[in-house]
Amino acid sequence: MTVLTTQVAIIGGGPSGLLLSQLLNNAGVETVILERSTREHVLSRIRAGILEWGTVELLREAGVGARMDSEGIPHDGCYMTDDELMVHIDFKELTGKRVMVYGQTEVTRDLYQAQDAAGTTVLHGVSDVEIHDLDQTKSYVEFTREGARKRLECLYVAGCDGFHGVSRKTIPAEKRREFERVYPFGWLGILSETPPVNDELIYSNSRHGFALASMRNANLVRYYVQVPLSDTVEDWSDQRFWDAFSLRIPSEAAAHLVTGPSIEKSIAPLRSFVSEPLRWGNLFLVGDSAHIVPPTGAKGLNLAASDVYYLYSALIDAVKGAGTTGIDAYSTRALARIWKAMRFSWQMTTMMHRFDGEDAFAEQMRKATLAHLATSEAARRDLAENYIGLPF
Ligand code: FAD
Ligand code: DHB
């Protein structure tokens, strides 16, 4: 069997795995990344679009901020709306901070390029990954690639393999505590080469259901509508999407809507999920492998980045013999921030979506929450503080 050796084995070549690897490599710590899919597949997934400023600064620190700084669009605010009521949340005025519109696909592309330049081994097309000896001084990962079984020996393993990965499941079920809330709807998202309907994002609660107007650049929009879980992409022609979307955003905004063909269309289910702890012996869970948030509030990718922030310097210390205080504290420190982002994403989801079978009281609670937001600067500041990202 071919045997490879590294200091930190990273399972998953999505944003968590790549960013962790980049930061470790910059400090002279060796990594090998094992990724199930092809690079083209990873880069074809259209996902998050909003970076908190802490994420922006971490990407800069990792040395991958140049294209983000030239092509990303800083946003100083967004709108939360209820039918025709448009509440402006001015992040800059309320918190002194802003967010960056820069797609996950671009972040991932920049990270792959930096990892290529660093000469990091990224093995694509791996399957049947198994993690062993997590309670020993040295651990190893076995996997199949190009028809052959291989072994990667390491000091630590970072489980960056997303919700459906193997890392979390390597922790014995009786040692894991899982918390979950599944929402009874999904988001249908489209990409279209049209100018944005508004300069800032619009999160829209309406009698017809939720809609979100986001963007990637001056001629590429990312729009979403809430759909029943039973719907498929085939149920949604472009025309049906545009009709639903324009009904759900305030008419003042809809008046500026430019429609066009969609170039991507997909449906994502909404879920809140946390698995504790994040550490099992030499294994550390990072990003979606340990937690999922519903996308309302744009926290998924940003939480992956804050996990990486807590873990990378801790791993550098551990690998270089400077102590294990950091890795010992990782799970507790990361979970404290994760739970706050869970609460915010759940609250935003509850405030902005129609739930099937809900009663008139629930609808009034949503409307009152948005009316309160319109009249209370304290409420807007609370939302802004969470949206731009709680401190690491
Ligand atoms: P992932 O991006 O899932 O990366 C994990 C990687 O591990 C993948 O490349 C996968 O191929 C690989 N992998 C999996 N299993 C194995 C294995 N056994 N062996 C080796 N490799 C493996 N967040 C937002 O903030 N806004 C959004 O609009 C938004 N939309 C989303 C839409 C969808 C459909 C999904 C799934 C997520 C969305 N998210 C969104 C969440 C955000 O994209 C994630 O939080 C982010 O991708 C987490 O990064 P990650 O690297 O931890 O996990
Ligand atoms: C995007 C996605 C989100 O979930 C969100 O809250 C804001 C923007 C996006 O894809 O652009």
* pLDDT band at 285; cut points 50, 70, 90: very high
Return the residue matching tokens 């809900």: 358
Q: What average pLDDT does range 136-164 have in this prediction?
A: 98
Return the residue matching tokens 């009521």: 85
Is 203 designated active site?
A: yes
Is 74 designated active site?
A: no
What is the rounded end-to-end Cα distance, in angstroms, of the chain?
42
C-beta of 110 in contact with ligand 1 (< 6 A):
no
What are the residues whose beta carbons fall under 8 Å from the beta carbon of 115, sequence distance 6 or more? 18, 21, 22, 25, 33, 122
Is 299 designated active site?
A: yes
pLDDT for the residue 265 = 97
Ligand 2 cavity residues, CB under 6 Å: 48-50, 201, 212, 214, 222, 295-298
C-beta of 389 in contact with ligand 1 (< 6 A):
no
Lowest pLDDT segment from 5-9, 188-192, 227-231, 355-359? 355-359
Mean pLDDT estimate for the chain = 97
- Give the CA radius of gyration of the chain: 21
Which ligand gives the minimal distance to the CA of 211? Answer: 2
Q: What average pLDDT does range 295-315 have in this prediction?
A: 98
Provide the 3-class DSSP secondary structure of residue 65.
coil
325-352 helix and 377-387 helix, angle to the nearest 10 degrees: 130
Q: Which two tokens stand for residue 18?
A: 């790549």
**b vs e for 41-77, b when ≥16 Cβ sit within 10 Å of the residue's Cβ?**
ebeeebbbbbbbbbbbebbeebebbeebeeebeebbb
pLDDT for the residue 215 = 98
* pLDDT band at 142; cut points 50, 70, 90: very high
pLDDT for the residue 36 = 98
Which ligand gives the minimal distance to the CA of 268? Answer: 1
How do residues 208-248 score in pLDDT, each as one tens digit?
Answer: 999 999 999 999 999 999 999 999 999 999 999 999 999 99
Distance from Cα 119 to the centre of ligand 2, integer Å: 32
What are the residues whose beta carbons fall under 8 Å from the beta carbon of 239, sequence distance 6 or more? none
Distance from Cα 339 to the centre of ligand 2, integer Å: 20
Q: Which two tokens stand for residue 122?
A: 């990224």
What are the residues whose beta carbons fall under 8 Å from the beta carbon of 378, sequence distance 6 or more? none
Query: In this structure, which residue's CA is closest to atom 8 in ligand 2?
Result: 49
How do residues 77-93 score in pLDDT, each as one tens digit?
Answer: 999 999 999 999 999 99
Mutating to test ligand 2, I would choose from 102, 191, 214 the residue with most ligand atoms within 8 A of its C-beta, which is 214
Residue 99: HSE in the Cβ half-sphere, 13 Å Cα cutoff: 28
Catalytic one of 79, 250, 295, 312: 295
C-beta of 73 in contact with ligand 1 (< 6 A):
no
How do residues 35-81 score in pLDDT, each as one tens digit?
Answer: 999 999 999 999 999 999 999 999 999 999 999 999 999 999 999 99
Which ligand gives the minimal distance to the CA of 210? Answer: 2
